[in-house]
Amino acid sequence: MKQETKNIAVVSSNPENGFFAHLLWAIQEESLETLYDIEIYFMMSAMKKGGPDYLYKKIAREQKASAVISIAHQMGVKFIKMLMEEGIVPVLIDSRARGVHSINTNNKKGSYDAVKYLLETGKKKIGLVIGDNINVDVQKERFEGYKKALEEKSIAFKDNLVWNVKNFNYSDGKEAFRCMISSDVDAVFCAAGDYVAHGFLSEARKQHVDVPGNIALIGFDDIEMSADTGLTTVRQPLDEMGKEAFRMAVAAIENSGLPPQEKVLENTLIIRETA
């Protein structure tokens, strides 16, 4: 029989990315009002051992927690089944899966609003920096919002204006800048997130490319440093996302018959200096 633990595991990717850091902070803050403790696992630190495969197996086999909150990771049926078979509740942030508790924002509308704004300000050749928009639901939804805004203005979608990132880090943003500048875009929507957008902005300034004069830039998340850098971005309610995910986990632990919930929150376009 499974021994109940008062731990909730949080599996995240890169602690340097302000998106993950903000969510972890919100989850931890909410946990302090309860008897549950948080155990944090970073995929990047476990890559030599197998990354998410190693971490989810470790949590499941060693009974590390009663629930796992996974941040921005397409967990997949294998891992979901592995956890559930051990009586561990999976909760997803910025991702979704059938029969699993999840908390997301309206990604398609957020992307649509960002690209529509760029078009309304006269931009015509808008590049897209995004993650895996084929297999990852959240990135797919942001891709759909981008295309919808273009279609409404009768602007043809062009594959060569899309740059896919893998690591969602600062270096990805710098590399994306080099791609986009060679494509002669007049604006970029960084659906891969603000941390990547900051790398893009840093490289633009290093190369003396004026933002927004030569290239307008919009990010996604509104992490803390975005206000200081003047980044126009789509704000996700990160505090609410983290706290609600924790509350979902506790409710599911304490009521095993609770049906899976999917909550979708609204986001907001925050206009600053870069667009």
Please report how many Cα atoms fall inside a 13 Å half-sphere around the Cα of residue 211, on the Cβ side.
Answer: 30
pLDDT value at residue 2: 47
Q: What does the DSSP 8-state code read for residue 2?
A: P
pLDDT value at residue 259: 93
Q: Are 274 and 216 in contact (CB under 8 A)?
A: yes
pLDDT value at residue 5: 61
Report CA torsion sign: 144, 147, 201, 45.
positive
**224-269 pLDDT, tens digit each:** 999 999 999 999 999 999 999 999 999 999 998 899 999 999 999 9
Extract the residue ranges of the chain whose pLDDT is less than 50.
1-3
Nearest to 83 by CA among 59, 48, 110: 59
Q: What are the helix (H) ranges across 86-224?
A: 107-120, 137-152, 170-182, 194-206
- Which domains does the chain carry? 7-104+238-263 (3.40.50.2300), 107-235 (3.40.50.2300)
pLDDT value at residue 203: 97
